[in-house]
């Protein structure tokens, strides 16, 4: 158990609505990440954080924003969801060993 | 920026046969490398990693990978596969820039072990 929880685990929403996914860690680690997983693309980095209020863009950041006001929480927001954002979203932490530990994933469907 | 290529999207192999899953990377700085595995309907978990030192790294379930800096490769091998090895395998690379920052994944290789 890596001490990471994601919520919600499943969500169905409509195009144009805002969506926020939450990642919560219990271990007080500095680095947190949001990835999306799609068939044929593997995992693609959306945004990552290296501390409270310190975030940076990944490979596919367009259409997404993040916030980290507390060490334990890393929020991913889709301001206006589109069908192309239908995916499985994974949060991960880095325990300063280089290894990433992943949450169980959040499956988002945008109709 | 770093990138990862996994040329084989699907690899079918018979049980007890050897297998090699290929991974090549590009980076302008020194890197650290990983293989992650995702079993059906599960999350990702680390299989093995190279941070420094010996270029040959091994996992507890018989997989091994060798870091080849000149060929920018980190291929994964197993001399004899089992049905339970059926899974998606992802190669990942991180840049040793300042600390552990962004980690980039390849598109994955689906390994199917045939009885």
Rounded CA separation B57/B50 (Å)? 7
Chain A residues with CB-CB distance to B6 below 8 A:
42
- Of the candidates A56, A94, A102, the beta carbon closest to that of B44 is on A102
Contact A50 B101 (CB under 8 A): yes
What does each of the 111 residues of chain A score in pLDDT, given as a tens digit?
A: 568 999 999 999 999 999 999 999 998 899 999 999 998 888 999 999 989 999 999 889 999 999 999 999 999 999 999 999 999 999 999 877 778 899 999 999 999
Contact criterion met (CB < 8 Å) for B101 and A99: no
Burial B56-78 (b: 16+ CB within 10 A, else e): ebebeeebebbbeeeeebbbbeb
pLDDT of residue B98 exceeding 60, the answer is no
Q: Which residue of B has its CA nearest to A37?
A: B107
Cβ contact, residue pair B103, A45, below 8 Å: yes
Nearest CA distance, A48 vs chain B (angstrom): 7
Q: Read off the pLDDT of residues B10-58 as tens digits, 9 standing for 90 and up.
A: 999 999 999 999 999 998 888 889 999 999 888 899 999 998 888 999 9
In this prediction, residues B91-113 reach a mean pLDDT of 83
Query: For the CA atoms of chain B, what is the radius of gyration?
Result: 14
Mapped onto helix, strand or coil, the DSSP state of residue B83 is helix
**Which residues, 6 or more positions from B107, have their beta carbon under 8 angstroms from its beta carbon?**
A40, A41, A42, B6, B9
Q: Which residues of B touch A66 (CB under 8 A)?
A: none
By CA distance, what is A2's nearest residue in B? Answer: B45
Cβ neighbours of A43 in B, within 8 Å: 44, 90, 92, 105
What residues of B are in contact with residue A102 (Cβ under 8 Å)?
A: 43-45
B98: which residues sit within 8 A by CB, 6+ positions away?
A: none
The answer, for B49 touching chain A at a CB cutoff of 8 Å, is yes
């Amino acid at each position: 158990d890596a001490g990471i929880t994601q919520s919600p685990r499943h969500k169905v929403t409509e195009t144009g609505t805002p969506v926020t996914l939450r990642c919560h860690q219990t271990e007080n680690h500095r680095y947190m990440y949001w990835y999306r997983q799609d068939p044929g693309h593997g995992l693609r980095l959306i945004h990552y954080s290296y501390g409270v209020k310190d975030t940076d863009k990944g490979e596919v950041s367009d259409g997404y924003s993040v916030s980290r006001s507390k060490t334990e929480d890393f929020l991913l927001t889709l301001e206006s969801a589109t069908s192309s954002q239908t995916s499985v979203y994974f949060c991960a932490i880095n325990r300063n060993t280089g290894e990433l530990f992943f949450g169980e994933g959040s499956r988002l469907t945008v109709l | 920026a770093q990138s990862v290529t996994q040329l084989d999207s699907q690899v079918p192999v018979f049980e007890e046969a050897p297998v090699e899953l290929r991974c090549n990377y590009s980076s302008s700085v020194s890197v650290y490398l990983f293989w992650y595995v995702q079993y059906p309907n599960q999350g990702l978990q680390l299989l093995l990693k190279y941070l420094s030192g010996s270029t040959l790294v091994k996992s507890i379930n018989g997989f091994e990978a060798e870091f080849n800096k000149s060929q920018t490769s980190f291929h994964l091998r197993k001399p004899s596969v089992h049905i339970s090895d059926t899974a998606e395998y992802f190669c990942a690379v991180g840049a040793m820039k300042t600390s552990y920052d962004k980690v980039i994944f390849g598109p994955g290789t689906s390994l199917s072990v045939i009885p």
